[in-house]
Structure 1
Amino acid sequence: MKRGIDTNQMKTGALPARAPMTTGLVLDSIDYDERATMRAWENFLSDAPQCARDPVQVRSLIHDSWYRSATGGINAQGVEAPLNSNRDEIEYLTRANAELLSAARRPFASLGPLLEGTGAMLVLADSDGVLIEAIGDKKTLHDGMDIHLAIGGKWNEGAVGTNGIGTALWTGEPIFVHAAEHFCAGIKGWTCAGAPIRDPLDGKIIGVVDLSGYSPIFRPHNTALVAATARQIEKALAEQQQEQRTRLLEAFISSSPGYRGKDGLVIVDHRGRAIFCNNVPNGDTTEMTDGPIEPGRGRWLMNLPASGSDSDLAKALPAHLRSCHVTPLKLDGNLSGAALVFPAAPVVSGVAVINRAADKQLQAVTSMIVGESEKLLAAIDVACRVARSSGVTSLLIEGETGVGKELFARLVHAGSRRTDNDPFIALNCGAITRELFGSELFGHVAGAFTGASRDGKAGVFEQANGGVLSLDEIGELPLEIQPFLLRVLEERVVHRIGDSRGRPVDARLVASTNRDLKQEVAAGRFRSDLYYRIGAVSIRVPALRERGEDALLLVEHFNRHIADKAGSEPLRFSSLALDALQAYRWPGNVRELKNLMERLHILARDSTIDLRDLPWEITVGNRDGATMHNDNPAAMLEVPVCTFEDAERQAIRNALAAENGNLSKVAQRLGISRPTLYRKLDQYGIRRGFL
């Protein structure tokens, strides 16, 4: 039978007979009034919002935890924690926390016999508050089963409200929760003191050690006891990690006779975290910046494959680490880490690195392009070649909206930089009215036209002198302006509007477009001579649906980035959710995926994302685009398409229907500017009120 508290007991503040309490009890200099705490709890449950503004008379730590418990949907009448008794899952938990269990073995073995007959039990929980070890007084261990204070029981605040384990996990500090301070009625007869255990390598909380028993065992120094035990476990973990670090270094030395002392070296452990850095900038600090040559100790770098083969290990490297040499490191026949060697004289695309500062910038930008697919890596390779070439003065980047074309433009800029002051100027041609194109591109002198600046103005070509000019949506450039752009590219001289004097410019042009410029040329909307001038070297950035498992890498990347920025833990994804994300066609590409991750971090109901948390178009929409769910107004308008113009026309119709004719929202949904949308509506003869 469960030992809970019935309604009458809660009303009177009485507790079960086997857990007697004394009203107005003073516990070793800490004032605690059982009846007052019970009244505060009852008042809190009757009006939690008011109590949030006017805190009840309990410790602030307890009040804050009660509020989290209430707003998190915890049942205050609960009598037990959730329990997972599945043997396979318990075995998995044991394997996953093998290092933590090993480090706790000695302190638990020394304390276990001392707890017999004391009415206390000592438990170890993982980072999710799930119990993985329990020792102590046999009777208390037996009684703990009634509230699932046993191996497999889940004791984080999100599962059972205020308690020593869950609240220690939340606060990150040693704490105690005594009797009526618990949120759930069924555990108010217990007292507990918990202390978090942190990984010595990266400082993350990986578990909790907790002393629990019926309320008479309470002493303030119980908290000091568990804190000391947690420090012992952390010390044992540090010793284990130091031993592993030494063994991995020995394994690397024996397997890599060609390593040169001046090469950069990073050793990662079995979890893909850097545990040794040599000749790597900032390698001995935890304040790190992204990039293949700046990992710091404790930083997560990669996931090691289960197979341990050289080929699988090479594939597991993130794209920004592909320039290094990777070697698997095995201990006792098992893959236990890897060595990443960065040659002192790196070679990129067959061109030796000469400008070290530019190379560092190039690597930093490359690290921002997340993915491992062959198409993406091929595009990165071309961009790096162009960046390092002095003979290529212009580049055309083609790709759908949202694929990250601007990152490639910045990649070219990073590799082309000669000084830290080389500018990068970006201009979106789709956001400029026809009348202002000439002034924005080439500049004007004072009084050149009505509304001209009194002092004149330099155009973007002059502003980009010595650096890179990025013209996005160049397909929107009016026909009458295109000859002037071609002339500037040919002569490297710009004439401001209203000025006969030419001004020399030395700027590399990177043009990008989401349109098929060949078709635009054939339709007479884009000059062929300009197309061949800017498109001598071109890059096609692949759509996300063409990049295989890159979608999952981007999910992980944005998940960690958003979590780090918010100071929270990354979300977890069920296998079904990951399958759905992998299968989705991503019409909005990387931008759509990033927006989805930001939305999930804001709206997710808990830390694990399942199918129910994903938008309907990902979970039930047909990913081939042939049919869509009938409750989507845009879907009912879709028809089979044959040409690019048909597809574009239909996309605009769908967006208008979905946004009820709101042009600002339509432009945002399509990823284009309002002026571009107006031109498209005029081009296809579409009116908002008649679809």
Structure 2
Amino acid sequence: MPDRSSYSEYDTREARERFVSTGSSVDERPPKVREEILDSWRRSRDSGVDAASLASRKVYDEQQIHLRRERNTALRKAASAAFKRLEPHLKEARTILILADDQGVIIDAIGDAHVLDEGQEIHLELGGDWSEKTIGTNGIGTALKTGKPAYVHATEHFAEGVQAWTCAGAPIFDPFTQTIIGVVDLSGPPQIFRQHNVALVLAAAREIEIALAEQKQVERTQLLEAFLVSDYSRAHESVVLVDQSGRVLFRRGFEEDMLRQAKELSVGHKLLPKLEGLSDQDIPKLLPLNVEAEGIERLKLEGVFRGAALFLKDRSALRPKAGETCKIKPRANVSEAQIQIVGTSPKMVDAMGLAERAALANVSVLIHGETGVGKELFARLIHSRLPDDKAPYVPVNCAAISSDLIGAELFGYAEGAFTGAAQGGRTGKFELANGGVLCLDEIGDMPIELQPYLLRALEQRAIYRIGDSQRRRVDVRLVAMTNRDLRQEIEKGNFRRDLFYRLGVMTIEVPPLRERGDDVIALLEHFSQHYAEETGQAPLTFTDKVRELLRRYQWPGNVRELRNAVQRFYLIKTDSLVTERDLPPEILDDFEGGAEDSLEHILGGHSGDLESIEASAIRRTILAENGNLSKVAQVLGISRPTLYRKMKRYRIRKG
């Protein structure tokens, strides 16, 4: 990337004129011209771009522009928050922010009004075509062509008419397919030439990708819920859900061996063209030859067609056992049993599907969930789906290492780097995880001063040991886990915004146990079988009353608390029947009357922090008022908007 000291207007102009006039570059690269610019000039020449062009082309048909913007509604919606946040800073900075689609056509533009007007002269406006094959080297087209951030300044542009501009563009990747779906670009007169402009558009692109992932995750969960409450959810074993674009969101009823052979059924794969306009008779004809549907059910959200359930013919498919949805093989050279993730609730299935999809894409993953929900199981799931069975898995608990030592733990150190350093130095966790997964638990506890080094390691795929100048390349898939709201930590100044966007290319929300419905009973049976085998006892029997109480209990400690409760039953029981009397006090207290409003009752079973107490009070009041939120707000003494905000914060649903 150039800076003011390395960029030479004279040298760059002379090199470009020589390139254009001779039809080829000089024998040796000019010292002041970057290789990526020369490469783009070559592509521009080979594409037949006129170096004397005064402006780019433009789509003048308003209907075409409207259809193009409508086709990219999800992208524009995802970009709206980032654009709105940056807009106030652009108006006085002689700068505009641009969103282009996957063909380099501008679909949104905001910023300084004068610069927007000036941009119309070269068609740097809505409908302007800024692909490299159209106008040559530029921030939008070059980023789109290379898949990397591109900074193009003044005479580095191939076309003469746009050399009075500076632009920095960053590609936007689909968080599921990792294909380029657009570009975010910062443009203006040469005076805005700053090295950090690339970092700004790169951060904006990552923010847009996170918003896209969140959109898709919400839609996927809603479609799953719409399907699971339908009359068709239990009628067929082999089912594939696709969204409106024809992309696979979920599948069940297939053995792992069969899925490996049928890549078309993998989550995220585009199985069908866009469903809009297709009839139920058309869809089966468009499926791959090895995928045959025996039935189709269209799924609607709020009355709008948003996807479809395909019931497939698959004679080899086996119905999974109750609660048995995902298995994780033991790690290579590690003495451990096979791990089973138990859960069939929509949110849990959604999280597992995202984890499997994340394993196919070489991106960082952020796993968020309350303490005890089993976040590390999802990190292990990602690791187990890597192509290399011997890929390392290296876990690090950021909260368990002092702030003075965590840098040395992650990056390693050279001999003599500090007092007490081991002779010969030491390899860090990044190097140990090379070719595999580095799992950083409690990422929210990482010291703020160390976060830039982690960001640099992720961006450059290289590290430096402490006290050593040797650059060491590492190929690591980072999986970060936290029970904190990192957006709040950013506002508090405890976590870097750019690191958050880099970590959260794909975010997996692991639901708390209280939101998983019948998974509680499936987990109860799973843990009971496990401890029966471990202790050599016959499996315990649970009365219907016990099952109902466990099913309705809020489980503040989540799956870990349930597992500990089952283990306790096997330690204290002298017979094989678990009755209501055997339940621990915190579970019984949760349902006893007469103390509903007492502080002791509200605190029962909770960690005692104010957020847990507040969330518990809101949930109890919603139950007591049968979901009437106006009465809930009145009872709690808060306004309805405040209640909605707190429900969103604590992920409390009306039902």
TM-score normalised according to structure 2 size? 0.46
TM-score normalised according to structure 1 size? 0.43
